[in-house]
Amino acid sequence: MIKKAFITDCEGPVSLNDNAYELCKEFIPDGDEFFKVVSSFDDYLVSINHENYNAGDTLKLIAPFLKAYGLNNEKIFDFSKKNLSLVNGAKETMDYAKKNIISYIVSTSYGQYIESLSNNINFPFQNTFYTSLSLDCSITVDEKNLLLSFKDEILNGDFNRNYEIFFKEIPKLKAYKIIESTETIGGLGKKIAIEKIIAKEDLLAKGIMYVGDSITDVEPLRFVRENEGLAISFNGNEFALKESEVVVVSDDTIVTSILLDLFGRYNKNYCLEFIKIYSDDPQKAFENLRMNFSLMDKFREVFKDKKIPIIAIIDDDNFDYLLEKSMEMRKKIRGNGIGELS
């Protein structure tokens, strides 16, 4: 049997936060709208394959503005620690994962947030990949004031003006060093992280189960799916569903625990067999396959008084339905502000 690994995105499959959005909302006036504008700008640049630009580079673009509004590394860590919010069952799932299978978190989130999360759930920080950000630097008062004025322009500007600000005006500033030194782990960066894990752990790509939920998971989901691993969307948006083989719609990660258990103890095909039977008759799936009884009992306990989750293999016929249900759950448990982000 080949070696197996469980690799998951953080925000969405493990936590309810969008840390960068929350930092902007908390520390920048109209910061929630500012982040949404920059995120949409990011999405467009990704869609046109802008040179040297990857999904998740929003976290680069907003970095000088976080500095201008008084943030530093310690403040980001403290805010992240105080505002950490997990998906139901996530701590138990990550505990189970690290004890039973090679496990990693690959996230676009800032390292300060991933460190605070790792501390909270007792997950080895050395088994995480994240966006490296340092705001322990200084900027002049003039540059600070210019960035504050740029923020207002970005909120009210069009694509062309925002492009000028981010790619012509800010690169003239000394504060641009913050962007240059910020290495995002999103999109292609996540795929590269998986390749590093494969080399370090001596894995085959088909031995990987990857869980993602957003545009920054497109490349890793596609890479795992095309190499016969198990690519799973957990309450994902359209970007994630298009690249996944399996959809999970759930407010509790016990589903992830069950799937990683089946994948780890048996193989991808056995996992898919469970999903096929579950889609028609969940009780039959639990009774007829070689399940982990403690996980099965936990599943029944969690969902005894509410609708059981959707676990399904994606095809052309069910895609629209699964996307609708996935987005409903995404917004329900994370809120509309975060749920609508790409």
Q: Where in the chain is the domain with CATH 1.10.3870.10?
A: 19-87+110-181
| Backbone angles phi and psi of 34, in degrees to 5 | -60, -45
Q: Which DSSP letter does residue 166 get?
A: I
Residue-wise over 198-213: b if at least 16 C-beta within 10 A, else e? beeeebebebbbbbbb
Kindly give the pairing relationship between strand 208-212 and strand 128-131: unpaired
Residue ranges, CATH 3.40.50, the chain: 5-10+187-339
pTM: 0.95
Residue 49, pLDDT score: 85
CA distances from 12 to 80, 215, 253 (A): 15, 12, 10
What lies within 8 Å, CB to CB, of 314 at 6+ separation is: 233, 241, 244, 245, 246, 247, 322
pLDDT, residue 340, reads: 67
Fold of 5-10+187-339: Rossmann fold (3.40.50)
Per-residue tens of pLDDT for the chain, all 342 residues: 799 999 999 999 999 999 999 999 999 999 999 999 999 998 888 888 888 888 788 999 999 999 999 999 999 999 999 999 999 999 999 999 999 999 999 999 999 999 999 999 999 999 999 999 999 888 999 999 999 999 999 998 789 999 999 999 999 999 999 999 999 998 899 999 999 999 999 999 999 999 999 999 999 999 999 999 999 999 999 999 999 999 999 999 999 999 999 999 999 999 999 999 999 999 999 999 999 999 999 999 999 999 999 999 999 999 999 999 999 999 999 987 776 676
Say what the pLDDT of residue 339 is: 67
Give one DSSP letter per residue of 280-296, joined into a string.
H-HHHHHHHS---HHHH
Query: Domain 19-87+110-181, CATH 1.10.3720.10 — does that match?
Result: no
Contact 340, 280 (CB under 8 A): no
Q: Which residue has the tokens 């590394």?
A: 73
